[in-house]
Structure formats: structure tokens, C-alpha cells
Amino acid sequence: MGIQERKERERERRKQQIIVAAKRVFSEKGFTKATMEDIAKEAELSPGTLYLYFKNKEELYASLTLRILQYLYIRVEHVSNEKDLEPEQKLNSLADAMFDVYEFDPLIVINMFQLQSSETLKHLSDELLAEITELSRKALAVIRSIFEDGIQKGVFQAYNPVVLADIFWSLFSGVVLWEESKRIVNKDKDFLKPTLEIAFEIFNGGLRKS
């Protein structure tokens, strides 16, 4: 391992350290209320150091999304690759994968929508933006392919698979957001998992060719 490589690795470790701290702080306070100093303190670093690794607050925030997307993509692709699963079983596996993604970082969906203001996007480096867009595109493509497969095998109804992937993702994120917000406002208990299960069940039922 060359010196170059060791440095790169060290740098990556630091980035992760900051990202972990940022995740905690953003989760608790939200993007606007969280200050760079909060994050620096959480990471036991100085504010200036944050800027050695992330161009600005927006970019640090977006990096959280990138991280979760990477995990999402891996999980989703894994489902897609299980050759001996029937389309319906794949759909169920997909639902499980989504839930794992949620547990990996409950903020994922919230992140991904707060991100989408054109004002925020302006402050991201092209590079990071491209990575996010690309990964998001690839993950959806995999989901789409699962639907395509099911349609081809005559198990699913012949909807446009692109649209199906969008709806699947929307249903997932919609339920996450809604249950999340109910929890906060009503101090309800956490009903995410069972609600999500029923949601996917109905979705599957509606999709299946009877």
C-alpha cells in the first residue's frame, strides 16, 4: 500500500467520521437549524476542518443522501440478482430491502426531498450532483427491471414498468414520511412496519394478474 493510497484511505475515514456526526445532528435539528459548529462539535473537530472535506453545508448534507443511495443500490441489486425467485417473491424481497434501507438511515426519504430545491442544488459540486443522480437512476432501473420481468412472465399486469417503479418508490417514501410525521405530531407509536407491509400487500394485489 503506497503512501498515496494510505492518505486517501485516511481521508475517507475522516469524511465518514464527519458524515456520521452530520447525520446525527441533521436528524435531530433538521438542515436549517443544524449549524456547522454543532456538527464540528459532534465530530470532535473544528469547524474549519469540515470545510477541508466538504465544500459547504449543502454538500455535506447531500453526501448523506449519497451514502444511503449507495446502500439502497446494493440492496436492490442484490434482490434483482436472485435468479431463482419468482417475480412476486422478488417484489416481497424488494419491500424487505426498502425497509432495511429505512432502518439504515430513517432520514433517507426526508433527506431526499429536502435536497430537491433548486436553490440547494446550485451549491452542490457538479461531481456530487452527478453521482447522486446517477445512483438514483441506477437504483430505479433495477427496480424497474423487476417489474419488467414480472410483466414478461405474465405475472404482473402490463403497466409501464417505469411508472411502476416510480409508484413503488412513492408508496414507500409516502408511508415513511406519513408515519414519521404522525409519530412527531401525535406522539403516536411507531406503526411504520405493519403499515408498510399492508401497503405493499395491496400494491402487489393490485398489480397481480388475476
Partner DNA sequence: GATGAATGAGTATTCATTCAT
Partner DNA sequence: TATGAATGAATACTCATTCAT
- Please check whether residue 115 is in contact with residue 62, taking contact to mean a CB–CB distance below 8 angstroms: yes
- Judge contact between 24 and 42, C-beta under 8 A: yes
Least spacing, CB of residue 93 vs its own copies, in Å: 18
Cα dihedral value 134, 135, 137, 138, nearest 10 = 110
Residues 6+ apart with CB under 8 A from 29: 38
Q: Which does 128 bind (CB under 5 to 8 A by kind): its own copies, DNA, none?
A: none
Q: Which residue from 154, 177, 190, 193 is in contact with its own copies, where contact means CB under 8 A?
A: 177
7, 9, 29, 153: residue in contact with its own copies (rule CB under 8 A): 29
* Residue 7 binding its own copies, by CB under 8 A: no
In angstroms, the Cα distances linking 38 to 23, 49, 132 are 11, 13, 25
Q: Provide the 8-state DSSP code for 158.
A: -
Q: How far is CA 149 from CA 103, 145, 156, 167, in A?
A: 28, 6, 9, 17
How far from each other are the two terminal CA atoms of the chain, in whole angstroms? Answer: 58
Q: Is 178 in the site for its own copies (CB under 8 A)?
A: yes
Q: Does 47 bind its own copies (CB under 8 A)?
A: no
Query: For residues 78-117, which are near its own copies according to CB under 8 A?
Result: 110, 112-113, 115-117
Partner touching 49 among its own copies, DNA, none, CB below 5 to 8 Å by kind? DNA
Count the site residues for its own copies by CB under 8 A: 49
2 binds, among DNA, its own copies, none (CB under 5 to 8 A by kind): none
Q: Which residues bind its own copies (CB under 8 A)?
A: 29-30, 32-33, 110, 112-113, 115-119, 121, 133, 159-160, 163-164, 166-167, 169-175, 177-182, 184-186, 191, 194-195, 198-199, 201-207, 210
